Amino acid sequence: MNKTDFYSPIGLIRILKQVNPRHPYRVIQMRSADFKDFQGTAKLLNYMIVPFASVTVLKFTRTLHTVNFKTSHDKFEPENSANIKFTETSMRDSKKHIKQKKTSKTAVLSCSK
């Protein structure tokens, strides 16, 4: 069985017209747990220290809380590295309770070759 995505009611009607009666579609309803809260997670990090208006190359790696960026396309310009860790979180009995603590108002930028 193939998965089919649709993005409008007209697209759904087109798909339903093509259904074979011997092999009907099975509709899976999404639950609230299927949606991730990326905005809530992003609020726990300090992206203000990365100058996005002047960034030309942005590199995310598996290194936790580190963003590498360049501000020009020059081959010889070294990559800047920024630690975006902003808050400390602790989970208690409720998943809604998040304790936030600002670590520092000043950013620590390092330059690597």
Task: Determine what percent of the chain is predicted with pLDDT higher than 70.
Answer: 73
> Against a cut of 0.85, is the pTM above it?
no
Sign of CA dihedral 36, 39, 45, 49: positive
* Residue 27 reports pLDDT greater than 80: no
* Residue 95 reports pLDDT greater than 50: no
Q: What is the pLDDT of residues 31-78, one digit of tens each?
A: 888 888 888 877 888 878 888 888 999 888 888 888 899 999 998 989
Question: How confident is the prediction for the chain on average, in pLDDT?
Answer: 75
Mark out the alpha helices in 1-113 (DSSP H runs): 9-17, 38-42
* Residue 111 reports pLDDT greater than 60: no
What token pair was written down for 48?
């203000």
The confidence score (pLDDT) of residue 99 equals 44
Position with higher pLDDT, 92 vs 17: 17
* Residue 105 reports pLDDT greater than 50: no
- Type of residue numbered 78: P
Angstrom distance (rounded) from CA 56 to CA 33: 36
In the predicted model, what is the mean pLDDT of residues 69-89?
82
